[in-house]
Amino acid sequence: MFYDGNYLDLVRKYYMHQHKKNAWISVRGLHEYIRYKFASEEGVGSADCQITEAHYFRERFSAQQSIEKASETLYNERVLDDILMKERVTTHYLPVNFAGKESSIDVWLALDAFDMAVHQRFDVIALIAGDAAYIQLARKLKALGMPVLVLGWTFAYDAASGEQKGTRPSQLLLNEAKYPVMMSDVIDRMDSAQGEEKEALSLLFQRRKTAAQAIGAEHDDDWKVGTIAHVQNGYGFITPEGARENLFFYCSALVDTDFDELYKGMEVSFLKGMGHKGPAAVKVRTAP
């Protein structure tokens, strides 16, 4: 298995913050579903399909950049690292400030995947990717007689700014795969799945606490209304409606909006909880 980490991050955030599932896609759940999918396509038992190698490639901020970006960035990266390590996924990182163009990590993934395919002779390679940059990799693997399974997602949503965001996998990449799998379709119909497929999908989503919740934070179920009092360098303050004291928040608390879209006086709604240094807004959104 080879993960385009930037692609996986985009997909996981969508299902956590935009989709009705409101949960993180589980790495373990993905592995279980891939084993099931290949077994069903080949007509063999899932127990006979094992993941022998798994590699995750991504560009990553330095420690200092992570601190400047948001307080939870380092925590979230460490949590994902723990998950990948537990699932025996080997991580490969390029620092963002040296990575250059986005294709840098794509090239590294493609070269390593092809090199391992040639020397280790895998039975099948699974790509969690959607970029056209991987078309040549899929073609080369097909020329070696090695089946390729590609997991892709199609989704779109309206951001708080009114801009439509989303992703769609390269159709040419899907065409090169022996087993193209549109996971967005699988997920949308997963509640009606039966038998072995239902069992394979049972671990696909998991709910994970935020850093604030992980250190014992509790927050009310009701969203409260306030206005942005100040924003700067990845954090800001909210003036709650009818209150005198401002409430601190990090950009990582934002739901369905970008930090650079906020401005002083903007109306927001928030969930109050306990942060690292006391009361804080643990979730902030622009729509009341």
Taking only the tens place, the pLDDT of each residue in 183-198 is: 999 999 999 999 999 9
Distance CA 201, CA 34 (A): 10
Strands 179-182 and 148-152 come out as parallel
Residue 75 has a pLDDT of 73
* Identity of the amino acid at 14: Y
- Please, what is the average pLDDT of the chain? 86
Q: What percent of the chain has pLDDT over 90?
A: 53
**Sheet holding 90-95: strands in order across?**
90-95, 55-60, 2-4, 125-128, 148-152, 179-182
**Of 26, 124, 34, nearest to 80 (Cα)?**
26
Rounded average pLDDT over 36-62? 89
Taking only the tens place, the pLDDT of each residue in 156-170 is: 988 766 778 899 999
Q: List, in sequence order, every residue forming a beta bridge with 149; answer none if it has no partner.
A: 126, 179
* Ranges 91-105, 139-153, 270-284, most confident: 139-153
Taking only the tens place, the pLDDT of each residue in 10-32 is: 999 899 888 888 888 999 999 99
Taking only the tens place, the pLDDT of each residue in 36-48 is: 999 999 888 888 8
DSSP 160: T
| CATH numbers and ranges of domains, the chain | 2-206 (3.40.50.1010), 211-285 (2.40.50.140)
- Torsion angle of C-alpha atoms 124, 130, 132, 134, degrees rounded to 10: -30
- Tokens encoding 26: 């589980």
Residue 219 has a pLDDT of 43
Q: List, in sequence order, every residue forming a beta bridge with 2; answer none if it has no partner.
A: 55, 127
Predicted confidence (pLDDT) at residue 106 exceeds the cutoff of 50: yes
**Of 133, 232, 227, nearest to 176 (Cα)?**
133
Rounded average pLDDT over 97-120? 80
Q: Sign of the CA dihedral 49, 82, 56, 250?
A: positive
